[in-house]
Amino acid sequence: MAAINRDDVAHLARLAHIEMSDQELDRMAGELAVIVDSIKSVSEVASADVPATSHPIPLNNVLREDVVGHVFTAEQALSGAPDAEDGRFRVPAILEEES
Amino acid sequence: MSELIKHSAAQLADKLAGGEVSAVEVTQAHLDRIAAVDTDVHAFLHVNTDEALAVAADVDSRRARGEQLHRLAGVPIAVKDLIVTIGQPTTAGSKILEGWHSPYDATVVKKLRAAGMPILGKTNLDEFAMGSSTEHSAFGPTRNPWDLDRIPGGSGGGSAAAVAAFEAPLALGTDTGGSIRQPGAVTGTVGVKPTYGGVSRYGAIALASSLDQIGPVSRTVLDSALLHEVIGGHDPFDSTSLTDPSTGLVEAALTGNVQGMRIGVVKELGGEGYQAGVEARFHESLELLRAAGAEIVEVSCPSFNYALGAYYLIMPSEASSNLAKFDGVRYGLRVLPEDGPMTIERVMGATRAAGFGDEAKRRIILGTYALSAGYYDAYYGSAQKVRTLIQRDFDAAFAQADVLISPTAPTTAFRLGEKLDDPLAMYLNDVATIPANLAGVPGLSLPSGLADEDGLPAGVQLLAPARQDARLYRVGAVLEAMLEESWGGPILAKAPALERVDTVEGK
C-alpha cells in the first residue's frame, strides 16, 4: 500500500469539503502517515477466502405500512437552519456565475 | 453537601417510594452539587435546572395522588450531549452545532421522560465522540474527579465524571470503541455497552453506525441494570434495533452467582503495554471469582491483534460519511469564505474548516482515504474481513467460556495534554474495548481497585455473547460485592472531596 502524502491529503480535503491551510496540510499529512502505517497490517490477515462483515448482528430488511408516520412541520425542520426564507432553506449559489 | 447525593439510584428509588424524600429534594441536591463542583470538573455543557425541578415536582404530585410510578421515577440522570433532547441544546461537543436545539427527542430520552426521570443536563464529550480523553471537546476538557489534572477518559468523560463526582447517580453514554467503558475504568465507575441493537440509537448523532451503541453509566452494577431495562427494547424508528425485550437484567444483578461458571481470560488483552497496577488489580479480581466458585480458563483470540487497525479504518470511514451532513445548510454553523466566489461548495469548505476540530478533520480525511477508489479493497474491505475473524475468535472463545474478562483499559488516567499531540498513543487506550464493538457483543466495566503506583482507579471488563447481556450483570454484581467487601466500602469513598472548603481569614 502506498504511503499517504501531502498531495493526497489536499485532494482528500477537497473531496471532504474541508478548507485547509498549507500548515494544516503539512501537519495532517505527517500524522496520517503514521496512523496509516500502523493500521495497514489488516491486509496481512485479510485473505481472499474470508468473507467481509459489514454489520455485527445479521439484519433483515425492515418494512412498514405505507402510511404517513412521524413528520416534522416546516417550522420544526427549519428551526436550526442557518438561513431560511418562505418556509425553505436558503443556500448560496450552487454554480459559480460567469463574470 | 447533602448526603442524598451519595446514594445509589436503587437506594434513591427506595427512599422515594417510601416517602422518605421527595423527587424535588433529590433533584435539588444534585443541582446543588453541580453548582458546587462543576466549575472544577466541567462534566456538564448544559444544566437543565428548571425542567429537572418541574419534572421532579410532577413526580412528587403524581406519587401523592397514589399513581403507579416507574421504579426510577424521580431519580435524576445526566445525558451525554451526543443524544438529542427537546428543550436543551445538543452540541456533540462541536462548534459546528453550538447552540443548536433538536426538534425531536431521542428514543432513549423519551423513555427517560416516560419513566419520570428528571434530566439534570447534557454532559461533555470529545467532539462527535471522537477521542479517549474528552480533550477533543470544542468546549474544553472534563477533569477526572480523582485528580483534576488528569483525563476522565473519553469520549464519554462528562457522563463518567458526573457520576464519579456525585453530580448525578446515573448517566447515559454512547460506546463506539469504548466510550462508555474506558471512562468508567479511569473514574472508578460502572459502564455498560449493550449488545448491538439492544438499545435504540434513534436520536444519537451517528459516529460509526455499525459500531455505535447507547448504554448506562452508574456507580453500581445494579444501577446500570435498572437503567438498561428503562432504555432497552425494540424501536421501530431504528432499523437496527433488536426485537428482544429488555428484561431479566435487574434480576440477574440481584441473584448473581458465578458457581460453576467458566470465565475466560483473553490472552491477547494483557501483558505488554498494560500498567503493572492495572494488571495486579485484574489478577485479584480473577482470584475472587475463583474463590466464589468460577472456573478461570485462558482463551486465545489472535485476531484481536488486528482489531485496532480494523477499527481505525471502519470507524473513520463511517464517520466521514455520517459527518457529511454538517454542511452549513440545514442546521448548525455557516461560515462564509473571506473572499472569492460565494458558492455553496466554498461555503461548505469554510464552514467545515471552522466548525470541526483537529481530530474530527483527521478522521474525516482518513475515512475519505480508506473509501477512495483504488484503496477501498485494501483498507475498508480488509478491515471488514478482520471483523469476520474477530467474530470467529469470539465464537471460539465463548465455546470455552460463559463470559470473557480483561482489564478495561491498559492504564489508569493519564495527565491532560499528555497524549494530545500523539493521536496513535491516544488510540491505544481503546485496545481492549474495541473488539466488542466490532463483533457487536455486550461489555461491562466495573472498578477493580486502585493501582499501587498512582492510587488511581483501574477497571475490569466483562464480555458476553450477543444478546446475553444478563450474564454481565450476573457476574458483575458478584465481583463488585466481593471487591467492595475487600475494600470496606465502595471505591468512590476513597476519592478526594471536591468541594472547596471556604476558609474565612481572620480580620
Of residues A39, A53, A57, nearest to B387 (C-beta): A53
What does the CA dihedral B408, B182, A32, A50 come to, rounded to 10 degrees?
50
Chain B contact set for A92 (CB, 8 A): 336, 342-344, 346-347
B387 touches chain A (CB under 8 A): yes
Peptide bond into B224 cis (omega under 30): no
**Model pLDDT for residues A15-36, shown as the tens digit of each residue:** 999 999 999 999 999 999 999 9
Which of B15, B80, B111, B419 is catalytic? The answer is B80
Mean pLDDT by 10 residues, chain B (507 residues): 94 98 98 97 98 98 98 98 98 97 97 98 98 97 98 98 98 98 98 98 97 98 98 95 95 95 97 95 98 98 96 97 96 93 93 97 96 89 96 98 98 96 89 98 98 98 98 98 98 90 47
Question: Which residues 6+ apart lie within 8 Å of B412 measured at CB?
Answer: B186, B275, B277, B278, B451, B454, B456, B457, B458
Q: Which of B133, B137, B179, B241 is catalytic?
A: B179
**How near does any CA of chain A get to the CA of B270, in Å?**
20
Contacts of B54 (CB under 8 A, 6+ apart): none
Contact flag A76-B310 (C-beta cutoff 8 Å): no
A57: region left, alpha or beta (phi > 0 left; psi from -120 to 50 alpha): beta
Question: Is the Cβ–Cβ distance between B404 and B266 less than 8 Å?
Answer: yes
DSSP for B313-342, please give it.
HHHHHHHHHHGGG-SSSSSS-----SSS--
Asked whether the whole model's pTM tops 0.95, one would answer yes
Question: Which residue type sits at B302?
Answer: P
- Higher local confidence (pLDDT), B361 or A97: B361
Beginning with the edge strand found earlier in the chain, give each strand of the sheet holding B262-266 in spatial order.
B44-47, B119-123, B77-80, B170-174, B214-218, B190-193, B443-450, B457-463, B403-407, B262-266, B295-299
How close A16 comes to chain B (CA, Å)? Answer: 7
Say which CATH architecture domain A6-43 belongs to: Orthogonal Bundle (1.10)
Query: What whole-number distance in Å separates Cα of residue B466 and Cα of residue B443?
Result: 10
The confidence score (pLDDT) of residue A98 equals: 58
Cα dist. B234→B109, B155, B198, B201 in Å? 14, 26, 7, 11
**Cβ–Cβ contact A60 with B under 8 A:** no
pLDDT class of A4 with cuts at 50, 70, 90: confident
Q: Is B173 left (phi over 0), alpha (psi -120 to 50) or beta?
A: beta
Q: What is the pLDDT of residue B209?
A: 96
What's residue B163's pLDDT?
Answer: 98
Grid cell 484481536 — which residue?
B304
- Give me the residue spans of the domains in chain A: 6-43
Looking at residue B507, its pLDDT comes to 39
What are the tens digits of pLDDT across the range B317-341? 999 999 999 999 999 999 999 988 8
Residue numbers of B between 120 and 139 with CB closer than 8 Å to A: none
The residue-averaged pLDDT of A64-91 equals 93
pLDDT in tens, B405-427: 999 999 999 999 999 988 888 89
DSSP-derived 3-state class of residue B195: coil
Q: Per the CB < 8 Å rule, is A42 touching B368?
A: no
How buried is B212 (Cβ within 10 angstroms: 0-12 exposed, 13-18 middle, 19+ buried)? buried
Interface contact flag, B352 A47, Cβ < 8 Å = no
CB–CB of B366 and A35 under 8 A? yes
For A39, the closest of B313, B332, B346 (CB atoms) is B313
The yes-or-no answer on residue B445 being catalytic is no
**From CA B170, how far away is CA B473, in angstroms rounded?**
16
Structural domains in chain B plus CATH codes: 3-304+387-494 (3.90.1300.10)
B113 DSSP assignment: H
Alpha-carbon gap, residue B186 to B177, rounded angstroms: 15
| Unique residue bearing C-alpha cell 491505544 | B428
Chain B interface mutation, best of A14, A18, A21, highest count of B Cβ atoms under 10 Å: A18
B375 touches A at CB < 8 Å = yes
- Residue B317 known to be catalytic: no
pLDDT at residue B505 in the model: 46
Mutation target to probe the B interface, by most B beta carbons within 10 A, among A6, A23, A24, A53 is: A53
Q: Catalytic residue at B385?
A: no
Taking contacts as CB-CB distances below 8 angstroms, the residues of chain B near A88 are none
